[in-house]
């Protein structure tokens, strides 16, 4: 079984105005509300690829109830842990430029953390555990590391898609895969990366700290994988029109995991990750299987592999 965790989910409130005037009353011409959460996105794309998963998350209040309602249509299994307060609401303001205002996370107490750990006692040898995104401010930055450490006596594949201290503290737990972008690596290591050689060297440092494989998303440039086999895999993105980049990184994680389960080939998993991430970027919402298959048929990917 594949398990995903969204510790800090949200309702994403999209507001579109033609011309934002600061300090004035502005009228939106369109608004939308979406269920936000990186782990939920991963589970959604895994479902599109034919893989079952159990998505855990903390929810609270009226906004948490709406989040759960919006997720009902998604076919993965849900494992929500109720908390006090309310699930955060993130405002995405789209005008001449895009502005985001992210709400504060919910309050999670020790009993609710223990409930999650109790749920994860069901994780067994051969399962996959994917920890995605940020955590509420009430939780310590070793939260992901504590979860991984609780599974250390099992043969579980760990995937961590996080940044900063949350990622740093997870590395000694030897995740199979981490997926930072270049900016996140620069922040984590306190450096500025100028070229591919420096990016590879920085990725190697994450391996030295404990990660087996480092998948670096590079936007329009494609992606790079620093593999546990000693090889560097590089590939550009398929051609297409960017529609919405939200969820593309999560789709890449889902594709990589599905590709690895299917083939146990790092290169095949890498390619599947790029197709899934790109397909979502070219869609208004998360990519479906037909979107991914169509992209594969129209845009072959060439991988450059170096030792």
What one-character DSSP code corresponds to residue 171? G
Catalytic residue among 109, 155, 229, 250: 250
153 in catalytic set: no
Question: Is residue 16 a contact partner of residue 99, using CB atoms and an 8 Å limit?
Answer: no
Which burial class, exposed, middle or buried, applies to 183 when counting CB atoms under 10 A from its CB (0-12, 13-18, 19+)?
Answer: exposed
Half-sphere exposure of 160 (CA within 13 A, CB side): 31
Residues whose CB is less than 8 angstroms from the CB of residue 144 and which lie 6 or more positions away in sequence, other chains included: 131, 135, 160, 162, 166, 167, 169, 170
- Using CA atoms, how far residue 189 sits from 124, 168, 193, 210, in Å, is 34, 9, 10, 14
Which burial class, exposed, middle or buried, applies to 24 when counting CB atoms under 10 A from its CB (0-12, 13-18, 19+)?
Answer: exposed
- Using CA atoms, how far residue 289 sits from 139, 247, 253, 283, in Å, is 36, 15, 15, 12
* Start-end of H helices in 75-126: 110-119
Which residues are catalytic, by number?
Answer: 250
């Amino acid at each position: 079984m594949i398990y995903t965790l969204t510790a800090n989910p949200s309702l994403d409130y999209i507001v579109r105005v033609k011309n934002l005037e600061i300090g004035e009353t502005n009228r939106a011409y369109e608004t939308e509300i979406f269920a936000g959460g990186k782990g939920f996105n991963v589970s959604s794309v895994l479902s599109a690829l034919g893989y079952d998963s159990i998505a855990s998350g903390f929810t609270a209040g009226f906004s948490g109830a709406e989040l759960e309602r919006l997720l009902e249509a998604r076919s993965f299994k849900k494992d929500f842990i109720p908390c006090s307060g309310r699930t955060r609401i993130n405002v995405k303001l789209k005008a001449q430029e895009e502005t985001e205002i992210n709400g504060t996370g919910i309050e999670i107490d020790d009993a609710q953390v223990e409930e999650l750990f109790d749920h994860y006692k069901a994780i067994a040898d051969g399962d996959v555990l994917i920890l995605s995104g940020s955590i509420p401010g009430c939780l310590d930055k070793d939260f992901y590391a504590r979860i991984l450490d609780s599974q250390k006596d099992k043969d579980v594949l760990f995937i961590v898609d996080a940044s900063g201290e949350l990622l740093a503290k997870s590395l000694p737990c030897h995740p199979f895969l981490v997926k930072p972008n270049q900016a996140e690596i620069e922040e984590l290591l306190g450096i500025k990366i100028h070229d591919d050689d420096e990016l590879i060297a920085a990725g190697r440092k994450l391996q030295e700290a404990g990660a087996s494989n480092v998948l670096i998303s590079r936007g329009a440039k494609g992606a790079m994988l620093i593999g546990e086999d000693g090889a560097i895999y590089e590939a550009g993105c398929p051609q297409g029109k960017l529609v919405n980049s939200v969820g593309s990184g999560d789709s890449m994680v889902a594709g990589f995991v599905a590709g690895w389960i299917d083939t146990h080939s790092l290169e095949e998993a890498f390619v599947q990750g790029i197709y899934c991430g790109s397909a979502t970027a070219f869609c208004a919402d998360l990519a479906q299987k037909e979107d991914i298959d169509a992209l594969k048929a129209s845009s072959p990917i060439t991988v450059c592999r170096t030792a």
